Structure 1
Amino acid sequence: MASLLGIDNGLTVTKAVVFDIDGTQLSVARRRVPQSMPRPRWVERDPAGLWTATAEAIREAIALSGRPAEDIRAVAATAHGDGVYLLDRDRRPLRPGILSLDSRALDLVAAWRQGPLFEKALALTGQTPHVSAPSALLAWLKAEEPETFAAIGHVLACKDWLRFCLTGEVGTDRTEASTSFTDVRTQIYSAEALELFGLSELGSALPPMLGSGEIAGAVTREAAEATGLVAGTPVAAGLHDVTASALGIAAHRPGCVGIVAGTYSINEVVSEAPRTDPRWFCRNAIEPGRWNSMSISPASTANYDWFLDRLCERDQKAAIEAGQSIHAVLAGEMEAAFARPSTLFFHPYLFGSPHGDAASASFLGLHGWHDRSDMLRAVLEGIAFNHRTHVDALRDGFPFESAMLTGGGSRNPAFAQLFADVLAMPVSVPGTEEAAAFGAALCAGAAVGLYASPLADPRDLSVVTRTFEPDARRAAEMNERFGLFTRLAEAMKPYWLELEAIGAASPGRP
């Protein structure tokens, strides 16, 4: 029986998922991948450790699938986008990989913003640079680690490093290639883009670009020994995880907004013509002649995870001991909090925001009679409101009337209903839990002819999808609260830089 392997590497966990060719998930295995934060704003990890953890997850997923490795017809990977993983000219890791949560290039990007570069980059590449963009990180390395920069042989993204470990082949795909250095009109690498960022010498270091559903190599004997895969198994080029998630929830198509509520607030729309705006990235879609516009900030359910870790630690331990989900344990608190009026708001900017890199999180309207449930409501509302900020931006440029939602929170019906009410539109949640891994599996299947293309989804979505309709009364209430949420954020803008300055001057700051 034929099956497919999709690899999904996030910012903290790497996953291997085996799917039947009809889209049924057969098994999943996970491994945590430690992050290193050696300095303020630096977020890195060891490439060799990442590969070891992924190989272990693959071996376990194969064992759990109940099918032999010989049944796996093809493999593809997706992983966190942006950031950089560098190889030297001998194709060995040059330094720790830099993750997309890294913000060491903050000052450099701020300087770029003051000059003409932002406007030029938007017109040429379809996006303005951000602190973890390959353009910003490579420019930072050139200025701050010149010896490392001079030794660069290959510039890879995270999933490209994993595919290199599987196949020994250097390459990337169309979606990942467009994170910094492609012309938004031609959708291919641009020497002008490299020159714009002062990186012309890296032209030969950019990896060859393939289609996401093209074969990029085959599993080597060494990789087979590490993973349990069969040597020679075809490996597809794969794709950027934002695009993989949209593909996995059937949202990688015009007329629909795909929403990923994960570490990042990801909101994306596919179009048949490029449209640029500083509020979103206009990047390559899977197919030539289509574009994927993404409005993104690192301000989604990572805030919920922080809340659970800081204020629900005892409950989490008790839930684990009882074999329960902490989300189910808190469901009653959430329901009670949403049933009563609240003055409490939360700006979910613990790790970033749509309002610039200096923004920080805050509770506003907090009183002595509020309890943990009110704070939890504010956190969840704040996450949904932040997604609406991005969705409203995309509404200005693209027509759509419905949303597809994925991410850890999407499996909670109350959370999905909150999104429907906040966005005032139907929100559908597909039943496939590992959406990004399934997006990768679709590319793997297309590469070996099991599907006509990565967009040829074999699932019966009418059966596996649940749709949440907005409640008119709640939608009106949420619209008023969103307006105040937005005005409060605007009012805070002048003070965020002052707050950061105080923190930078504090004694004992590393």
Structure 2
Amino acid sequence: MSHMQDLLIGIDAGTSVIKAVAFDLGGRQIAVASVLNHYALGRDGSARQSLSQTWDDCARALRDLGTKVENLARRTAGVAVTAQGDGTWLVGARNRPVTDAWLWLDARAAPSVRRLVQSPLERQRFERTGTGLNTCQQGAQLAHMDATSPELLDGAEVALHCKDWLYLNLTGVRATDPSEASFTFGDFRTRRYDDTVIESLGLTHRRSLLPEIVDGTETTHPLSAEAAQATGLLAGTPVSLGYVDMVMTALGAGVHAGGAPAACSTVGSTGVHTRAVSASDVVLNAEGTGYVIALPIPGIVTQVQTNMAATLNIDWALRMAGDLLAEMGCETSHADLVQRIEGWMQKSQPGALLYHPYISDTGERGPFVNADARADFIGLSANHRFPDLLRAVVEGLGLAARDCYSAIGELPAELRLTGGAARSKALRAVLSACVEAPVRVSAREEAGAAGAAMMAAVAIGAYPTMDACIAEWVTPLLGEAEAPNADLVRTYRGLFPAYAQARRALVPVWSQLADQRNAPASAPDLEPEHTEQTLLAAQSAERSA
């Protein structure tokens, strides 16, 4: 590292946007360039993404960053990459794509998940990975491909994740990281592949598809000449393979900052609730749900539960209000309605209604998995008005967060918040009271890219340990702790048992509604036009925080 090399680049290839972010070695964000991601949703439940297009978009983001930062190539001491998790990116001979990637949004593996969870090895698989089996995951997707289209796997030489594919294009090295490797195919205690887990998925005969595991805080590979030409960076620049985006975001936002046992919730279009614990202190629930994902800190993992929909519920409520206003000739924007949330919250009574925030068409995945789960209001009377409904929706997000944290141990001592909802004072107050913990908001804008860049900072020796890097990159950006309101705490503590009891009692109702939805329609008899939804159509459902 020469004296000129004073920058690190973090790449964060999300579901909606691919970002390249430049930081100085002390963690200050210098510039960001972003390119819209592209994927297609099909009526068969597929969610597919072109591998070559994804690499082209990543390279373009890096080139665009070069136009914003003078002398970027010569100043870059290291590059790190993280990306959307789960999914399957198959690569064959000469590192060519075999087929489009199956994303985490892909639902085609559902029949295989139903079969695999009946395996006599399923509980052992869960206890080693710490991760519930679902259609998002590469293990389930590979098992489904093996059962339904084995020719895809026959033509593949390696099964990668999104960040692994980008790393291959940056360095020419086929690898994955310890976090995705162990929560999908291994043991979170050893951070290695596990024979029993692979056997439980019926993939022992496909084991050769699993790549080498590389820890990006310890090992880097040089940027290839081809990647240098595509990105505008210098060949030989050290490249670090980051961990999966969920824990990179949590790391950058403060899940392990200041030495205190804390938790981090990312409340964006989806909700991700994480707590950092020693691997020996992991609490595995009886339902077999959630994730255990390694952090790039020895012996420390995150326990994770994810809500399929978080602020998407608020977007839905605001859209209802906007549609009514438009019917009356009063045009308004989403931003105008967002500005009114605080006022509506003040006009409503806490805890008057129950709302389960299961607005997603794919149901819920945390802390329980049920594709038929749907949102509901309970307790409506003639006196309730729109502000009461909106408050119930916001409180539903808080109670869902409490539900998730309850499934992975005790409620947190402190909650760090990131994502779009963290900007709302009213929402912070509800979350704080629901989990009975003070909240702190990180001022870090691009937490995922920062988490990855922190790994590169340790790998190139800018910091001796990740804890030393956290002390400079993360802790100073945490805002003041906002203590929960005692009256709200009492209200939500009293409301939560009804919330939990109601969602358990509704399971047969959701099932009957699903049967009704899936029954052959008696009318009308028209064949709907087949359409493929590209990113632009999906943006509203996948808007990043």
Q: Same fold judged by TM-score > 0.5? A: yes
Residues of 1 paired with 2:320 and 2:183: CA distance? Answer: 34
Q: Deviations over 1:47-89 (max 9, x none)?
A: 2222222222222233334553321211111111111111113
Secondary structure of the 1:93 match is coil
Q: Deviations over 1:452-509 (max 9, x none)?
A: 2334222372454232210001121222333332222122111222222222224368
Aligned partner letter, 2:448: A
Matches within 5 A, 1:310-389: 312=322, 319=333, 325-326=335-336, 329-338=339-348, 342-343=352-353, 345-350=355-360, 351-353=362-364, 354=366, 355=368, 356-366=370-380, 370-389=384-403
Match of 1:251 in 2: 255
Match of 2:463 in 1: 451
TM-score by length of 1: 0.90
1:25 aligns with 2:29: yes
* Closer, same or farther: CA 241–499 of 1 in aligned 2, 3 Å: same
Residue 305 of structure 1 deviates from its aligned partner by: 4.1
1:71 aligns with 2:83: no
1:240 aligns with 2:254: no
* Closer, same or farther: CA 183–329 of 1 in aligned 2, 3 Å: closer
CA contact (8 A) 1:89 1:154 kept: no
Match of 2:292 in 1: 282
Match of 1:294 among 286, 304, 320: 304
Q: Deviations over 1:205-260 (max 9, x none)?
A: 21111113134322223323332322222110111111101210221377212222
* Closer, same or farther: CA 57–371 of 1 in aligned 2, 3 Å: farther
CA contact (8 A) 2:356 2:400 kept: no
Gaps of 5+ in 1: none
Aligned partner letter, 1:412: S
Secondary structure of the 1:468 match is coil
Q: Which moved more, 1:419-428 or 1:206-215?
A: 206-215
* Closer, same or farther: CA 326–89 of 1 in aligned 2, 3 Å: farther
Matches within 5 A, 1:116-155: 116-155=120-159
Match of 1:52 in 2: 56
Aligned partner letter, 2:278: E
Residues of 1 paired with 2:40 and 2:379: CA distance? Answer: 36
Aligned partner letter, 2:358: P
Match of 1:36 in 2: 40
Match of 2:190 among 176, 186, 192: 186
Match of 1:429 in 2: 441
Residue 102 of structure 1 deviates from its aligned partner by: 1.9
CA contact (8 A) 2:358 2:373 kept: no
Secondary structure of the 1:394 match is coil
Residues of 1 paired with 2:340 and 2:520: CA distance? Answer: 36
Q: Deviations over 1:250-282 (max 9, x none)?
A: 213772122222343222223323433324323
Residue 117 of structure 1 deviates from its aligned partner by: 3.7
Residues of 1 paired with 2:232 and 2:15: CA distance? Answer: 24
Aligned partner letter, 1:480: G
Residue 371 of structure 1 deviates from its aligned partner by: 4.9
Aligned partner letter, 1:255: P
Residues of 1 paired with 2:377 and 2:71: CA distance? Answer: 50
CA RMSD of aligned residues (A): 2.7
Q: Which moved more, 1:9-18 or 1:279-288?
A: 279-288
Match of 1:99 in 2: 103
* Closer, same or farther: CA 309–70 of 1 in aligned 2, 3 Å: farther
CA contact (8 A) 2:183 2:293 kept: yes
Aligned partner letter, 1:436: G
Residues of 2 paired with 1:128 and 1:215: CA distance? Answer: 30
Q: How many residues align?
A: 504
Match of 1:478 in 2: 492
Q: Deviations over 1:131-157 (max 9, x none)?
A: 211111110111111111221211111
Match of 1:495 in 2: 509
* Closer, same or farther: CA 312–231 of 1 in aligned 2, 3 Å: farther
CA contact (8 A) 1:118 1:128 kept: no
* Closer, same or farther: CA 442–462 of 1 in aligned 2, 3 Å: closer
CA contact (8 A) 1:215 1:234 kept: no
Residues of 2 paired with 1:317 and 1:227: CA distance? Answer: 44
Residue 340 of structure 1 deviates from its aligned partner by: 6.5
* Closer, same or farther: CA 463–208 of 1 in aligned 2, 3 Å: closer
Residues of 1 paired with 2:318 and 2:22: CA distance? Answer: 30
Residues of 1 paired with 2:74 and 2:348: CA distance? Answer: 51
Residues of 1 paired with 2:393 and 2:348: CA distance? Answer: 12
Residues of 2 paired with 1:154 and 1:106: CA distance? Answer: 23
Aligned partner letter, 1:134: Q
Match of 1:7 in 2: 11
Match of 2:404 in 1: 390
CA contact (8 A) 1:431 1:466 kept: no
Secondary structure of the 1:466 match is coil
Secondary structure of the 1:467 match is coil
TM-score by length of 2: 0.85
* Closer, same or farther: CA 410–97 of 1 in aligned 2, 3 Å: same
Q: Which moved more, 1:13-22 or 1:116-125?
A: 116-125
Matches within 5 A, 1:168-207: 168-207=172-211
Residues of 2 paired with 1:309 and 1:358: CA distance? Answer: 23
Residues of 1 paired with 2:385 and 2:232: CA distance? Answer: 50
Residues of 2 paired with 1:164 and 1:478: CA distance? Answer: 48
1:265 aligns with 2:271: yes
Residues of 2 paired with 1:310 and 1:217: CA distance? Answer: 51
